[in-house]
Chain A
Amino acid sequence: EVQLVQSGAEVKKPGESLRISCQATGYSLTDYWIGWVRQTPGRGLEWMGITHVGYSDSRYSPSVQGQVTISADKSINTAYLQWSGLKASDTAMFYCAWALDGTMWWADWGQGTLVTVSS
Chain B
Amino acid sequence: QSALTQPASVSGSPGQSITISCTGTSSDIGDYNFVSWYQQHPGKAPKVMIYDVSNRPSGISDRFSGSKSGNTASLTISGLQAEDEADYYCTSYTRSSSPDYVFGTGTKVTVL
Q: Which A residues have a C-beta under 8 Å from some C-beta of B?
A: 35, 37, 44-50, 59-62, 65, 95, 97, 103-107, 109-112
Contacts and interface: CB of A to CB of B under 8 A. Distances in A.
Range of interface residues on B (Cβ < 8 Å): 20 to 34
Interface stretch (B16-24, B69-77, B78-86, B99-107): B99-107
Given A105-B51, A111-B45, 4 more contacts: A45-B38, A47-B103, A104-B34, A110-B45
Contacts of A104: 32, 34, 36, 51-52, 93
Contact of B102 (A47, A50, A95, A103): A47
A5 B54 CA distance: 28
A47 B32 CA distance: 18
B98 A59 contact: yes
Contact of B45 (A44, A48, A107, A109): A109
Contacts of A46: 103
Nearest to A109: B45
Contacts of A45: 38, 40, 46, 89, 91, 103, 106
Contact of B99 (A61, A106, A112): A61
Contact of A62 (B34, B98, B104): B98
A62 B36 CA distance: 22
Contact of B101 (A44, A47, A103, A112): A47
